[in-house]
Amino acid sequence: MSEKNNNFFQDVWEVVKLIPKGRVASYGDIAAYLGSKNGARMVGWAMNASHMLEDVPAHRVVNKKGLLTGKHHFDETNKMQTLLENEGIEIIDNQIQDLDKVKWNPNTELL
DNA sequence: TAACTGACCGCCG
DNA sequence: ACGGCGGCCAGTT
């Protein structure tokens, strides 16, 4: 951590913060919005750093399958699922149901 | 200093 | 149709 790292991370967090309640975004879409084609991995890495932030709903960020891959990184293992269910998202076995409804694309809806 | 890892995605076999 | 591997950027060891 030097000083210039916040650029990419801040951008990721900004997009994540824009995710509407009851919706979820995928790493790939966020990465694509940032300009990185395959930078999805780094988005997840940015999420890891977002733990020290409060305004970043990392629980709304899932993989393209709608699977809560990063739930294990939360304070509590089922915290992520609980938060999503609290927003009206149905989740079964770490898999988001009705993903097509809750799916949110920054490039499409965040124009 | 160089190499590996990481909450992923997409292609090739 | 399913499985395995490489690739992207940056941080960590």
Q: Where are the beta strands (DSSP E) in chain A?
A: 25-26, 61-62, 91-92, 95-96
**Does A31 reside within a domain?**
yes
Is A17 contained in some domain? yes
> In this complex, which residue's CA is closest to the C1' atom of nucleotide B10?
A38
CATH number, domain at A89?
Answer: 1.10.10.10
Number of domains in chain A: 1
Å: A77 CA to C10 C1'? 26
pLDDT in tens, A16-53: 999 999 999 999 999 999 888 778 889 989 898 898 88
Measure, in angstroms, how far nucleotide C2 C1' is from residue A1 CA.
41
Q: Which of A75-80's residues contact partners 24+ apart within 8 Å by CB, and which partners?
A: none
A108 part of a folded domain: no
Q: pLDDT confidence of A6, banded at 50, 70, 90?
A: low
Structural domain boundaries enclosing A54: 6-103
Does the pLDDT value for residue A7 go beyond 60? yes
pLDDT, tens only, A48-81: 889 888 899 999 999 999 999 999 899 888 999 9
Q: Which nucleotide is nearest to A7 (CA to C1')?
A: C10
Is residue A1 in some structural domain?
Answer: no
Spatial distance from the CA of A57 to the C1' of B4 (Å): 29
